[in-house]
Amino acid sequence: MRISFITAIILMTGNCVVAQEKGIRFEHNLTWQQLLAKAKAERKYIFVDCYATWCVPCRKMDQKVYTDSLLGGYVNKVFISVKVQMDSTKNDNEYVNLWRNDARQLEKAGKVGVYPSFLFFDPNGQLVYKEVGYHSVLDFLKITMNASDPEKQIYSLLEKYREGSLYDATILSLINKMENADDRQAAEEVAIPYIHNYLIKKTGDKLFTPTNINLMSRFLSISEDPVFDLFRQSEGKIDTIMNARAFVFNKIFEIVNKEYFAPKLWFGKQPITKKPNWGELAKPIAIKYGQELAARVMIYEKVSFYTGTEQWKELVESEIWQVEKYKQDFAPAQINDMVFSHFFLHSDDKNALQTAAGWFKTIVDRYPNKVEWLDTYANLQYKLGNKQEAIALEQKAHKLARREDDRKDTGDALAKMQANKPTWPTK
Q: Which fold has domain 333-427?
A: 1.25.40
| CB proximity list for 294: less than 8 A, separation 6 or greater | 282, 283, 285, 286
Confidence of residue 272 (pLDDT cuts 50, 70, 90): very high
Fold of the domain built from segment(s) 5-152: Glutaredoxin (3.40.30)
Distance CA 151, CA 143 (A): 13
| Extents of the domains making up the chain | 5-152, 166-241, 245-330, 333-427
Torsion angles phi and psi, residue 29, rounded to 5 = -130, -5
**Residue 69 near residue 91, CB atoms below 8 Å:** no
Which residue type sits at 33? Q
Write down the pTM of the prediction.
Answer: 0.80
pLDDT of residue 20: 43
Q: Is the pLDDT of residue 18 over 50?
A: no
More confident residue, 172 or 168: 172
The crossing angle, in degrees rounded to 10, of helices 371-383 and 387-400 is 160
**Can you name the residues that pair with 130 across neighbouring β-strands?**
119
pLDDT at 3: 53
Q: Would you state the pLDDT for residue 9?
A: 54
Percent of the chain scored above 70 by pLDDT? 95
Task: Check residue 30 and give its pLDDT.
Answer: 94
- pLDDT tens digit sequence for 24-67: 999 999 999 999 999 999 999 999 999 999 999 999 999 999 99
The fraction of the chain above a pLDDT of 90, given in percent, is 90
Determine the 3-state secondary structure of 184 from DSSP: helix
Measured torsion, CA atoms of residues 202, 203, 205, 206, in degrees rounded to the nearest 10: -20
Could you tell me the sign of the dihedral formed by the alpha carbons of 407, 412, 413, 419, in that order? positive
- pLDDT tens for 171-192 read 999 999 999 999 999 999 999 9
Mean pLDDT value of segment 184-207:
94
pLDDT score of 16:
40
Residue by residue, DSSP assigns 338-377 as HIIIIIIHH---HHHHHHHHHHHHHHHHHSTT-HHHHHHH
| Residue 21: per-residue pLDDT | 52
Instruction: Determine the pLDDT at residue 419.
Output: 97
DSSP structural state of residue 219? T
3-state DSSP percent of the chain in helix, strand and coil, to 5: 65, 5, 30
Q: What is the pLDDT of residue 74?
A: 92
Q: Region 376-400: what's the mean pLDDT?
A: 97
What's the mean per-residue pLDDT of the chain?
A: 93
Give residue 246's pLDDT: 93
pLDDT in the model for residue 89: 94
- Is pLDDT at 274 greater than 70 in this prediction? yes
What average pLDDT does range 20-24 have in this prediction? 73
The answer to whether the bond into 116 is cis (omega within 30° of 0) is yes
Residue 170 has pLDDT above 90, yes or no: no
Quote the distance between the C-alpha of residue 405 and its chain's center: 26
51 φ, ψ to 5°?
-130, 170
395 confidence band (pLDDT: 50, 70, 90): very high
Mean pLDDT of 76-87: 97
What's the Rg (C-alpha) of the chain? 28
Give buried/exposed letters for 228-243 (b at 16+ CB in 10 A, else e): bebbbebbeebbebee
**pLDDT value of position 332:** 95
What is the C-alpha separation between 426 and 416, in angstroms, rounded? 13
| Residue 109: pLDDT over 80 | yes
pLDDT at position 8 is 53
Q: How far apart are CA 352 and CA 178, in angstroms?
A: 47
Q: How far apart are the first and last CA of the chain?
A: 67
pLDDT of 260 higher than 70: yes
- The answer, yes or no, to whether residue 238 has pLDDT greater than 80, is yes
Cα–chain center distance at 268:
21
pLDDT digits (tens, 9 = 90+) for 130-164: 999 999 999 999 999 999 999 899 999 999 999 98
Residue 339 pLDDT exceeds 70: yes
What's the pLDDT band for 7 if we cut at 50, 70, 90?
low
- pLDDT of 106 > 80? The answer is yes
Mean pLDDT of 329-342: 95
Res. 202: pLDDT tops 70? yes
